[in-house]
A and B are shown apart, each in its own frame.
Chain A
Amino acid sequence: MAKTALFLAACALLCDFGCAKPSAFQAPVSKFHDATTSVLTSTKTYYTALNKSERDHYIDQQLAARKDIRLSEIDETQLLTSEDIAARLKALDVLSQYSELLYQLANSTAPSTIQSKATALQKSVTGVSDEINKLGGPQDAQFKSATSAVFPIVGQVLQAFIDSKIEDALKNAIKTGTKPVNDLIGAIETDMIVAYERKRNFLSEQRSAAVQQYERDLQSKVEQGKLQGDAQLISTTEDDWEVFQTASPTVGLEAMKQADDALEKFVKTQKPSITDFSSFISAMEAFASAAQRVSTAVHQLEKTN
């Protein structure tokens, strides 16, 4: 995202000190890009699963209490409306495409392709902004505020790309892009903390329910096959619980912010030393590692649920 632009500008700064665009820089840019994509994908998975968790919880509760299940009540369980979720997923898409574009800029010698993509993305930004402005739910305020700050800046950077003012675009991204992008990540993080806590609540309840079922069947002296099934459910639930502890998307988002900070610090360093460059690479690798860990856990949970 904007931070990738910061990095590219860092490359440009280094070039000012007499070096050509070093191919060595492509590796950390690539890591940053891949990790960003991975974190955004994990975040999307959480957004998509958010309402499902609430629905399933309601159905389980009604079943346990032997109460009616009503569609109207299912609708009331949803934390975010379908419009809320759709708008957030589209905002994530914009960030992802923006990252992709900047990545291509670092790795491509075909600016005309980038220009046409920038034009298409600029249209998307306008459309998504309009959609987000229409949201009026209680959970939307922070998200709306964050996107209204970052999207105009993304738009300006894209316009500069379109006008072939690449350097201006990068400088603009450095000067104005850091805080708004981090604020948008922060707004997404808030949603993710709530989503993670609700999921933790439901999984924890399932752990207890699985053990209680086994206990009831044991007391009722059910056949061995049924008891084995109960024991298998306990085992599976415990596996899920264990994986879940490492599946917090906020870990990836926090790592993303730290990688952003490292990029900004690197850019602000007038004459980067080998040590500065090593620290910068380490930060990108730490981000990639956190993103990979979260992605693996989220993917594993997705398969089991």
Chain B
Amino acid sequence: MTQLDVIKMIGDVLTNIDVVTGSLQSNDPNLQKLMDLRVVLDDRQTQLSRQVFNDNTQTFQAASQQLATVNTNIQGSITAINNIASVIGNVSTFLDSVTTFMTSIGAFL
């Protein structure tokens, strides 16, 4: 995977989150939780967009592959509005994986 692939992958999850937040009642307590997760994920995408990493390294490839696996595992269930607890769990898992990925490639140095 390339750095641009990861930026796109995060973008796909963000748009899925927006579909969910745009489908919840305004007084649903889960709405704010999801929006908070979105803010952090958006911040991660911003940081990746501002820096350039060598995506040919073994470290980058291994870390991005792990992230891609998590992304594949949550596909489909991330927009399951009838099971919002699962959606929040999956978004949190993805966000954690992005943070791990970015730590691995030195994005927070």
Please give me the residue from chain A that is nearest to B25 by CB atom.
A215
A212 at the interface (CB under 8 A from B): yes
Which interface residue of B14, B27, B51 has the most chain A CB atoms within 10 A? B14
- Residues from chain A with a CB closer than 8 A to the CB of B19 are 208
A207 to B8, CA, bound (A): 18
**A79 close to B27 (CB less than 8 A):** no
A8 to B68, CA, bound (A): 46
Given contacts A190-B4, A212-B22, A215-B26, contact A204 B50 (CB under 8 A): no
A211 at the interface (CB under 8 A from B): yes
**B18 close to A207 (CB less than 8 A):** yes
B88 at the interface (CB under 8 A from A): no
A243 to B41, CA, bound (A): 25
User: Could you tell me how many residues of chain A have their Cβ less than 8 Å away from some Cβ of chain B?
Assistant: 23
The minimal Cβ–Cβ distance linking A137 to chain B, given in whole angstroms, is: 9
- Residues from chain A with a CB closer than 8 A to the CB of B22 are 207-208, 210-212
In the complex, per-residue mask of B22-37: 1 if CB is within 8 Å of any chain A CB, else 0: 1101110001000000
Interface residue ranges, B against A (CB under 8 Å): 4, 7-8, 11, 14-15, 18-19, 21-23, 25-27, 31, 38-39, 42, 45-46, 49-52
The 8 Å CB contact of A205, one of B8, B18, B26, is B18
A63 at the interface (CB under 8 A from B): no
**B52 close to A142 (CB less than 8 A):** yes
8 Å CB interface, A208-223 against B: 208, 210-212, 215-216, 219
Q: Given known contacts A190-B4, A194-B7, what 17 new A-B pairs fall within 8 Å (CB)?
A: A138-B51, A138-B52, A142-B52, A193-B4, A194-B4, A197-B7, A198-B46, A200-B15, A201-B11, A201-B14, A204-B15, A205-B18, A211-B22, A212-B22, A216-B26, A219-B25, A219-B27
- Residues from chain A with a CB closer than 8 A to the CB of B39 are 61
